[in-house]
């Protein structure tokens, strides 16, 4: 019973963390170009880095 | 998607017609005598890629042969006006890039742009075909960057609002968010529920704690993740038409309420797991369904963006400027370049102009227009550039009027009731009646407390809650439209497949749909080859479609000699050493004969005139397609705005019985309406602006790829790739999908007939409900996957 008091909140905390992570990926538009992401990973060249405009 | 496209491209690469080694850049078959490249554009592109050190592209690319051939002629659009200024002297340009079909293309594009010293960022999206470039410097650099994209073989167009609408899918993102939340809730509630199911020896207090934990997770999840369903249900209630979402919403809300009551009184089980799992499953179906349709919508938007462009406005003080068509007002003067499509209505100011009005009238022959004559939007300039005075702004012109007509027709079609909604109409009240009867039966007749009576009633509700039913139809749709997408058929509307399956009559347009839309020289056995060579050589000096066709028929003709004079609308003449040579219409060469339309004559001194006859050739797959459609039980008819002889000839060649010539746009729409009233459910296939109203009115409509943008917006299906030939296949897929949807619905009903008595009698536990739900969904989905497996008939 005392194990539950620790494990259940822990499980919920981890699950909640994953949920927040998912919401963040959604908000930062990581699902907008799934085809591109799938292909991009195959090329080991450096991606075209955003250069600092300064 | 790259995999899908590669799959589609594979047969083209293996086809025996392709030369063993294609063009080193685009992969298209090489013309005779060429060693590496099919055209100078490809040679330039290959040199550019090699010069940038990006040759690796050719080992990686998976595009279809010929996709990356750079277009001839510089792009007309002024991209500088579209560049948006950013911070610190930077600019940003958004482009729709056609031809971006594989990962290697994205890589090539991004790397090539990144090599430009002033480019800060270049990012291409493969699914949206969208390229974002940021650079430091002036806006005018936009044109150079767009030209670089074009030189690589991609076609760039301004990123239009239509593209944005197709890509920016706020509702889709909301669904995905809801799915994530529901999946989180489902798994975490299950964590607690499994403990309750398994813990037979669990103490009362512990079980109460578990129930409260489940409620703590379940309540907010049901509230937030269920919003898409609650909204749709509320709309359906207000419209007075109960739909599937209403049943889903009621089921979920009732289950949650009952579970809360069970939690409060510490009952044996709570049902939060069922409610959240149901939500997650249904949302997964929705997300998939939407993703499939979004892909089709994006592809349509891509086709449309390629047709958009700017208009050359002539300033009153002299000079021209490029501006969007929407900014032009009545009274402005515009310049229409050769080959450009007129976007506004106007009156011709130049002396004469040769225009192709096939899109607005269906006439296959170009027309000579004189000063002062009115021209409707949609005409294409075939001759020299001309100026015209705009008579109506884009919003008041003929195109806008047609678009409004389309909107009304769309609304009328919105009343189509899909098979899922039909099933929901009788199913939802029945399910609710059973649940209510169960509740009353247990409460009043058996005499348990009302809280206890709620349990079997809600169990009945959640088991009847049409999980299988709600997934049954979308799953089939996803599988079927995915299979069609791979064959180049874009399904733009959600109910298009259902309507296509029930079509019983097909109405075809002639010019551009059944025919290729451009004339081709007819073979004639008695014609001397030297005459053809001579005529083709002269014809090189003209851009008239017949002259073009002549050159196409004799590609190795020598270049046009010096001194060829074109008399617009009549012909060409050349003062040669042996006398005057003329090529043109019968009156032009002095023949008293009636002009037969698609005929050109070559008159040489001392020789009898040689006729060259042309015809707007039927597409190769027209006759087999009509035959295949008849085999599927669809009667075909031809409806064209062209002259009767041409229409009759096309009808006979394609094997179509009834035909009607000189049909106006209104006439076409009326014919479609008449067919619909008679219950024939017409499938309209057309490509012109004059077909748009008929397309929108028809039970279901399709348009070939090269169609006008208005026709593409109006049509349910866009036949890309194979053109007409894919239509019989699409109908077979649609019919199979319809059959599978019916099977799925029937299966879900049978499942309920077994499970419901179990629930009504109070034997159902959350575990049984979960098993029922999961197994029925899986079976329904597996059945739906068969929708794409339609055998391809042997093509001619």
**pLDDT tens string B577-589:** 778 888 887 778 7
Question: In Å, how far is A49's CA from the nearest CA of chain B?
Answer: 7
What pLDDT score does B13 carry? 40
Choose the weakest-confidence range: B186-200, B284-298, B751-765, B782-796. Answer: B782-796
- Is B120 within 8 Å of A53 when comparing Cβ atoms? yes
Q: Is the pLDDT of residue B423 over 80?
A: no
Alpha-carbon gap, residue B699 to B101, rounded angstroms: 33
A49, pLDDT greater than 70: no
Q: Does the distance separating the beta carbons of B102 and A48 come in below 8 Å? A: no
User: Which domains are seen in chain B, by residue range?
Assistant: 1-159 (3.30.70.100), 170-296+416-476+738-787 (no CATH), 329-392 (2.70.150.10), 479-516+619-735 (3.40.50.1000), 517-618 (3.40.1110.10)
User: Is the whole model's pTM more than 0.90, yes or no?
Assistant: no
Residue B370's φ and ψ, nearest 5 degrees, are: -105, 165
Q: Nearest to residue B744, comparing CAs of B413, B296, B287, B285?
A: B285
Put simply, the answer to whether B2 touches A38 (Cβ < 8 Å) is yes
pLDDT, tens only, B546-568:
887 888 887 777 777 777 887 77
The CA–CA distances, whole Å, from B662 to B509, B515, B675 equal: 11, 16, 18
The yes-or-no verdict on residue B12 having pLDDT over 50 is no
- Rounded to an integer, the average pLDDT of B437-465 is 84
Average pLDDT, chain B: 80
Tell me how close the Cα of A23 comes to any Cα of chain B, in angstroms. Answer: 7
When CB atoms are compared, the residue of B111, B124, B187 closest to A45 is B111
Domain regions of chain A by residue span: 2-40
Query: Taking CB atoms and an 8 Å limit, are A33 and B125 in contact across chains?
Result: yes
Cβ–Cβ under 8 Å, residues B688 and B360: yes
Catalytic residues of B, which ones? 509
Strands of B367-370's sheet in order across: B367-370, B352-356, B380-381
Would the CB atoms of A40 and B103 count as touching at under 8 Å? Answer: yes
What is the tens place of the pLDDT at every residue in B120-136? Answer: 888 888 877 888 898 98
> What is the mean pLDDT of the segment spanning B255-283?
88
Q: What pLDDT, on the 0 to 100 scale, is given for residue B184?
A: 92
Please check the confidence at residue B783 and state whether its pLDDT lies above 80: yes
Show residues of chain A in contact with B115, CB under 8 Å.
none
In the numeric block, which tokens belong to residue B235? 């709309």
CB pairs under 8 A between A and B: 86
Nearest-neighbour CA in chain B from A36: distance (Å):
5
Query: Quick check: helix, strand or coil at residue B638?
Result: strand
Q: What is the pLDDT of residue B467?
A: 63
pLDDT at B230: 93
Which tens digits make up the pLDDT trace of B236-252? 888 887 777 887 888 88
Nearest to A53 among B87, B103, B213 (CB): B87
Query: Among B47-56, B99-108, B291-300, B693-702, which is the least confidently predicted range?
Result: B291-300
Residue B545 pLDDT greater than 60, yes or no: yes
pLDDT value at residue B83: 81
Q: How far apart are CA B731 and CA B472, in angstroms?
A: 20
Measured over all CA atoms, what is the biggest interatomic distance in chain A, rounded to whole angstroms?
59
The least confident of B24-33, B51-60, B441-450 is B24-33
CA B91 to chain centre: 32
pLDDT for res B7: 40
Name chain B contacts of A42, Cβ cutoff 8 Å. 103
Question: Which of the pair, A10 or B409, is modelled with greater confidence?
Answer: A10
| Set of chain A residues whose Cβ sits within 8 Å of the Cβ of B128 | 32-33
Identify from B111, B126, B134 which residue to disrupt to test chain A contact, counting A C-beta atoms within 10 A and taking the largest count.
B126
pLDDT, position A40: 79
Average pLDDT for B663-683: 87
User: In this predicted structure, what is the pLDDT of residue B81?
Assistant: 75
In 10 A of CB B489, how many CB atoms?
24
Mutate to test the interface with A, among B188, B210, B211 (most CBs of A within 10 A): B188
| 3-class secondary structure, B84 | strand
Alpha-carbon span B28 to B37, nearest angstrom: 9
pLDDT of residue A1: 64
The DSSP secondary structure of B405-460, one letter per residue, reads: HHHHHHHHHTTPPPHHHHHHHHHHHHHHHHHHHHHHIIIIII---HHHHHHHHHHH
Q: What's the mean pLDDT in A8-31?
A: 90
Q: Is the pLDDT of residue B616 over 60?
A: yes
Angstroms from B3 CA to nearest CA on chain A:
9
Q: What is the DSSP string of B30-43?
A: PPTT-SS-SSHHHH
Contact across the interface for A39 and B187, Cβ inside 8 Å: no
Residue B74 has pLDDT above 60, yes or no: no
Query: Which pLDDT does position B795 carry in this prediction?
Result: 40
pLDDT of residue B18: 38
């Amino acid at each position: 019973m005392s194990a539950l008091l620790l494990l259940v909140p822990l499980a919920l905390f981890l699950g909640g963390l994953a949920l927040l992570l998912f919401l963040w990926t959604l908000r930062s538009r990581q699902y907008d170009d799934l085809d591109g992401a799938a292909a991009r990973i195959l090329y080991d060249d450096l991606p075209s880095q955003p250069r600092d405009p300064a | 998607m790259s995999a899908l496209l590669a799959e589609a491209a594979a047969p083209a690469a293996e086809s025996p017609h392709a030369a063993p080694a294609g063009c080193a850049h685009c992969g298209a078959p090489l013309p005779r005598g060429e060693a590496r490249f099919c055209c100078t554009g490809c040679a330039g592109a290959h040199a550019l890629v090699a010069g940038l050190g990006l040759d690796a592209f050719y080992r990686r690319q998976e595009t279809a042969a010929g996709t990356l051939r750079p277009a001839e002629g510089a792009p007309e659009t002024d991209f500088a006006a579209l560049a948006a200024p950013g911070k610190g002297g930077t600019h940003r340009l958004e482009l729709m890039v056609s031809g971006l079909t594989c990962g290697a293309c994205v890589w090539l594009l991004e790397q090539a742009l990144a090599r430009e010293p002033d480019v800060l960022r270049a990012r291409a999206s493969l699914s949206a075909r969208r390229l974002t470039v940021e650079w430091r410097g002036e806006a005018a650099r936009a044109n150079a960057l767009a030209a670089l994209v074009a030189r690589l073989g991609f076609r760039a167009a301004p990123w239009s609002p239509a593209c944005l609408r197709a890509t920016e899918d706020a509702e889709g993102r909301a669904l995905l968010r809801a799915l994530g939340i529901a999946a989180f809730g489902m798994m975490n509630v299950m964590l607690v529920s499994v403990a309750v199911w398994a813990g037979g020896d669990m103490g009362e207090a512990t079980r109460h704690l578990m129930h409260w934990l489940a409620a703590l997770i379940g309540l907010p999840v049901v509230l937030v993740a269920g919003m898409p369903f609650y909204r749709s249900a509320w709309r359906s209630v207000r419209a007075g038409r109960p739909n599937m979402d209403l049943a889903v919403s009621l089921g979920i809300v009732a289950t949650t309420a009952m579970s809360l009551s069970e939690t409060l009184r510490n009952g044996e089980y709570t049902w939060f797991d069922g409610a959240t799992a149901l939500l997650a499953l249904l949302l997964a179906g929705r997300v998939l369904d939407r993703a499939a349709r979004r892909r089709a919508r994006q592809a349509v938007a891509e086709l449309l963006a390629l047709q958009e462009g700017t208009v050359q406005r002539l300033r009153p003080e002299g000079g021209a400027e490029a501006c969007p068509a929407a900014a032009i007002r009545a009274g402005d003067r515009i310049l229409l370049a050769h080959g450009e499509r007129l976007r506004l209505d106007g009156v011709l100011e130049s002396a004469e102009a040769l225009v192709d009005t096939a899109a607005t009238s269906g006439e296959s022959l170009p027309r000579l227009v004189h000063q002062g004559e009115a021209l409707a939007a949609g005409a294409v300039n075939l001759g020299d550039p001309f100026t015209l005075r705009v008579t109506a702004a884009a919003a008041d012109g003929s195109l806008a009027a047609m678009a409004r007509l389309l909107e009304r027709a769309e609304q009328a079609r919105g009343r189509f009731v899909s098979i899922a909604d039909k099933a929901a109409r009788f199913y939802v009240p029945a399910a609710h009646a059973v649940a209510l009867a169960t509740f009353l039966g247990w409460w009043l007749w058996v005499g348990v407390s009302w809280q206890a009576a709620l349990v079997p009633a809600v169990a009945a509700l959640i088991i009847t809650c049409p999980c299988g039913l709600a997934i049954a139809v979308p799953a089939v749709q996803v599988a079927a439209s995915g299979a069609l997408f791979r064959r180049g058929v874009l399904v733009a509307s959600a109910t298009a497949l259902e309507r296509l399956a029930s079509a019983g009559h097909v109405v075809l347009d002639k010019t551009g749909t059944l025919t290729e839309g451009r004339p081709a020289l007819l073979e004639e056995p008695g014609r001397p080859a030297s005459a053809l060579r001579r005529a083709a050589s002269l014809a090189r000096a003209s851009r008239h479609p017949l002259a073009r066709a002549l050159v196409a028929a004799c590609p190795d003709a020598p270049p046009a000699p010096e001194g060829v004079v074109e008399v617009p609308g009549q012909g060409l003449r050349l003062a040669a050493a042996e006398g005057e040579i003329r090529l043109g219409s019968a009156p032009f060469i002095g023949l008293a004969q009636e002009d037969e339309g698609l005929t050109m004559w070559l008159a040489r001194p001392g020789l009898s005139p040689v006729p060259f006859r042309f015809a707007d050739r039927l597409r190769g797959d027209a006759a087999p397609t009509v035959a295949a459609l008849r085999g599927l039980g669809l009667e075909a008819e031809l409806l064209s705005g062209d002259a009767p002889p041409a229409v009759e000839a096309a009808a006979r060649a394609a094997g179509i019985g009834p035909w009607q010539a000189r049909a106006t746009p209104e006439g076409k729409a009326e014919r479609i309406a008449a067919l619909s009233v008679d219950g024939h459910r017409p499938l309209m296939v057309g490509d012109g602006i004059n077909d748009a109203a008929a397309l929108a009115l028809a039970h279901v409509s399709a348009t070939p790829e090269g169609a006008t943008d208005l026709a593409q917006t109006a049509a349910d299906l866009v036949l890309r790739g194979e053109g007409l030939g894919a239509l019989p296949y699409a109908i077979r897929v649609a019919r199979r999908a319809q059959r599978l949807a019916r099977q799925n619905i029937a299966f879900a009903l049978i499942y309920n007939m077994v499970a419901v008595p179990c629930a009504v009698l109070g034997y159902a536990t959350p575990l049984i409900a979960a098993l029922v739900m999961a197994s029925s969904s899986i079976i329904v989905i597996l059945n739906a996957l068969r929708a794409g497996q339609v055998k391809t008939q042997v093509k001619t």
